[in-house]
Chain A
Amino acid sequence: MRIQCPCCGERSLDEFTYYGDASVTRPNAFAPTAMSDYHAYVYQRDNRDGDHRELWYHAAGCHACLVVTRNVRSHIISDVRIAREVARERDAAALPGSTS
């Protein structure tokens, strides 16, 4: 498998480390529902056919964390983005008064 790093270009898998599911967000540990939130976050993972969003760390390259959209049946990677930018957009969208 080869990943098209937005910073470095196409690189082989041995430069990357898998960092887990990119579709989940770490819950607030101080919320009253923290116990059940964390249970869902840690254990209740879907194993869907088709596209998965995964975190990959470019350990032997630019050290950027990437959100990779990979089809688990065909291994076709349809999208790679810098995780920092994905997180910023997510946080901006979650702000009160946001239009999105």
Chain B
Amino acid sequence: MANTQWVAASAFVEWRDIPGSSVSVTRRDDLTMANLGVFEGQSDKVLEVIRSAYGIDLPRTPKIVTARGTSFLWYGPNQWLAVAAREQNRDLELELEPLFSGVASIVDQTDARAVVEISGHRARDVLAKGVPIDLHPSAFKTGDVAITHASHIGIVICQMDDNPTYQISMFRSFADSFAEWLFHSCEEFSN
């Protein structure tokens, strides 16, 4: 029998790279993601589980915290999105599920959301053309998260570093629509 290795297809089909050095865009097809939804009245317990397993406090405001190779994004009141690189076939749903029996639901989001990273010194200008929130460093800093929209597509945006690098995720089926807007927005900064 043939040894078949299944490789997930990227959600971004109509993809191209942006020439030049002022802004770069990267598909992040290498992530595993899971949604953590707290059951009624169990939020203290959930915070404690994360504290003992990862040594961090889950953010109660729109922030991202990272520990032991796993990031937790604030994803709404009493909700978080866990994100990690899928190295060694990691699967966050399988990792988190046993920790939260009876206190929270863990739902795999790996193939539900498409993720892209935009970085470079013009990244902010590229995003400003479609993202309605203020991304100026005085208002949105490294570690900040916002649930908003870009060009009418619902996104979760997160600033990863001071480069700046922004990680943006959206529902998978919107990936190419988002990318089309992104490429148009990048055009004036490419050379």
Chain A residues in contact with chain B, CB under 8 A?
Answer: 7-9, 11-12, 14-15, 60-64, 82
Contact = CB atoms under 8 A, between A and B. Distances in A.
B149 interface: yes
B77 interface: yes
A15 to B, nearest CB: 7
A2 to B, nearest CB: 10
A8 B62 contact: yes
B85 interface: no
Contacts, number: 30
B148 interface: yes
B149 A15 contact: yes
Given A60-B154, A61-B147, A11 B76 contact: no
B76 A62 contact: yes
B146 A7 contact: no
A7 B149 contact: no
A11 B148 contact: yes
B34 to A, nearest CB: 18
A7 B148 contact: no
Contacts of B132: 11-12, 14-15
B146 A8 contact: yes
Interface in B102-155: 132-133, 146-149, 154
Contacts of B149: 14-15, 60
9 contacts: A7-B62, A7-B76, A8-B148, A11-B148, A15-B148, A61-B148, A62-B77, A62-B147, A64-B76
Contacts of B147: 8, 60-62
A88 to B, nearest CB: 11
Contacts of A64: 76-77
Interface in B59-86: 62, 76-77
Interface string B27-47: 000000000000000000000
A63 B156 CA distance: 13
Nearest to A7: B77
A83 to B, nearest CB: 11
B112 to A, nearest CB: 16
Contacts of B146: 8
Given A7-B77, A8-B147, 6 more contacts: A14-B149, A60-B149, A61-B147, A62-B76, A62-B77, A63-B76
Contacts of A15: 132, 148-149
A8 B147 CA distance: 8
B111 to A, nearest CB: 22
